[in-house]
Amino acid sequence: MLTGVLTNDTVIGSFDGDRDRTLKARLTSPGAVGYWCTGGASETLPCDASSEQVTEFLDRVTSSAYHEVDRFLEERFVQPIDKAIDQMDLRQLLTAGNEYFGERVRALVATQFGVPLATIPQLDQETVERIARLVESNVRGPVRSMSRTLARRLKNILLGEMRRLLRESVRILLRQAVAAACVGVPVVTLAALMDQFRKLLEEEARRLVPVAVQSVLATLATAMLQEVAAAINAIEQAIESFFEAVLTVAEKVLMIIGAFIVAAAIFAFVVGVAILLAKAAAAAGVAGAVAAGAALVLVVLSRAIDTLMGSDGTEGGDTA
């Protein structure tokens, strides 16, 4: 199964027990991988090396750099975002989401159902509280399930794109790391090179978070709308299955609006947490994270409304 996977000596990276030594791996026999540490000339690069020597050196350490990318993403983004998702509060998402997306969501719901915007309730604080009570009393399960599923789906899409972009940048970052590590010294060790690479990786991640969001914006928007549709279907089933008292049409509309607002807030929350983590900023809570990602999500909502309006040639009422 492992035949051909490690065709040559593969650099894993600096050995944790001694950063001046390098951990390597090689396929020693079918199904068996050998690991060992080395030091010396093979793990150093003279700063006056030729272009060919630099290329050969980087060829040996590229796999180690890929490993650093994966570890960096796991430690800096995956684990903190997962923790933040687990701590999301539904009421806080509604409140923060309404502040940034309430009017856009009203327009989106009006357009989707083909009704005048004036028939959709204004989303003042009292109405948001009413939505929160309706959701928590009647359909907390479906909305909570949508929230967690959507948040993790968005996280996976976003970080998958981040991983792709960072891996594409590895060789450029390694060459920049060589130049930085060679300042004032005649020889660069692998440990010194990887230290510089990690610093550059952090800077590159900070730059790439909004780039990654923009490049997968359509995918993120589709995921959001799919989860909202699933949540609305679950809301309708919950109402039909578990409640004898028929909710008014207005109450059903409010819960649908609530599902859209929560979804938009989660979208902004995941993006915002990623932006703040890339900047090494302190945790800002739900409101701060939503604020950090709000601008990009407003673009998505505006595009969704434009798409719906263009699909049937109507505007669903006044959107002023």
Q: Please report the pLDDT score of residue 109 as a whole number.
A: 80
CA distances from 139 to 44, 86, 237 (A): 61, 19, 10
- DSSP labels for 191-219? HHHHHHHHHHHHHHHHHHHHHHHHHTHHH
DSSP letter at 14?
E
| Residue with the two structure tokens 């909570």 | 144
Q: How far apart are CA 219 and CA 84, in angstroms?
A: 22
Q: Please report the pLDDT score of residue 210 as a whole number.
A: 83
Q: What is the pLDDT along the chain (320 residues), one digit of tens a residue?
A: 445 555 566 666 666 655 556 667 777 666 677 765 665 445 788 999 999 999 999 998 898 899 999 999 999 999 999 988 888 888 888 888 888 888 888 887 888 778 788 888 777 888 888 878 877 776 667 777 778 888 898 899 999 999 999 999 999 999 999 999 999 899 988 888 999 999 999 999 988 888 888 888 778 777 777 777 776 676 666 655 544 445 566 777 777 788 788 888 888 888 888 888 888 766 668 888 889 888 877 877 777 666 655 544 444 444 33
Q: Please report the pLDDT score of residue 165 as a whole number.
A: 94
**222-229: long-range contacts (C-beta < 8 A, 24 or more apart)?**
223/150, 223/153, 223/154, 223/157, 224/150, 224/154, 224/263, 224/264, 224/266, 224/267, 224/300, 225/304, 227/146, 227/149, 227/150, 227/153, 227/263, 228/146, 228/259, 228/260, 228/263
Q: Please report the pLDDT score of residue 71 as a whole number.
A: 93
Q: Please report the pLDDT score of residue 172 as a whole number.
A: 95
Q: Could you tell me the pTM of the whole model?
A: 0.71
Query: Tokens standing for 240?
Result: 């039909």
Burial 81-107 (b: 16+ CB within 10 A, else e): beebbeebebbbbbbbbbbbbbebbbb
Domain boundaries, the chain: 1-39, 46-312
Q: Please report the pLDDT score of residue 138 as a whole number.
A: 66
3 state SS of 313: coil
